[in-house]
Every structure is written in C-alpha cells, then in structure tokens.
Amino acid sequence: MNFNVLYSNYGGTATIDAQGNGPIFTIENGVTVTLQNLILENGKANNVVNTAFGGAIENECENGLLTVKNCTFEDNTANSSGCGYGGAIDSSEGSLNVYDSTFISNTATTNGGAIYATGWLYTVTELHFRR
C-alpha cells in the first residue's frame, strides 16, 4: 500500500497541529508513505508508565518506507516516566529517508530529540536543527 501526503499550492506548505493531543501519524507495517511540504507541530507521544515513541511520527513500517521531503517539525515531544524516543520521528523499524527538512524545539526524555532511528535503511540530507 502506498500513501502520499503532498501539499503543493505553488510552493506553499500546510500545517498539521496536533495541539498536544497525541502523535500526528503512526505508520503501520508494510506501508510506503511520502510526506512533503508539511509543517507538523505540537505532536505528543506520552506514556506515563512505559515507553513513548515519536511525537510527530511513529514509523512502525517494517517492510515499508517513510520518506519526508521539505517538512518542518516544531515543538513535538516523546515523554514518558519510562523512556521517550524520537521527539519528532521515531523509526525503530522500517526504512526512513529525510530530505531538506527542519527540526525546531523537538524533545524526547531518553534519545533522539529530533530523530530516533534504529531500523533498516536511512538516508538523511540537508537537515536543519534549531532549539
């Protein structure tokens, strides 16, 4: 299955604001997803007891691929009293490509304030990080 979220209004961007109510996307097994020209903000993975993964995106797509192009991730968080991984993106499984994207003030309680990646294949180019 392929899924694309592309915003292309003459070079503009679209904003998805989770308002702290949870992660924005969870990508399941075997899916190919492309996200392009988006602002993903205020995503929150929160687990009081165990582990929190991916404030904006939790990539669980073993046998799949997540590609992010020209996106901005701002004020996303993965918090837990146990462990929190990937304030903006957690990619503990599956493949991940991130191109020409900006990460601003994303946090995680354990590892990967912007990106936590331990899966299969990764390509990252032209990334920008700001606090």
The residues spanned by each domain of the chain are: 2-130
Q: Specify the residue for token string 């988006």.
A: 38
Q: Which pLDDT belongs to residue 104? A: 97
Cα–chain center distance at 1: 19
Q: Which pLDDT belongs to residue 6? A: 57
Closest CA to 88 of 65, 62, 66: 66
Give the pLDDT means over successive 10-residue stretches in the chain (131 positions): 54 84 87 90 81 86 85 93 85 87 94 84 82 77
What distance in Å separates the CA atoms of residue 125 and residue 35, rounded to the nearest whole number?
A: 15
pTM: 0.87
Q: Which pLDDT belongs to residue 27? A: 85
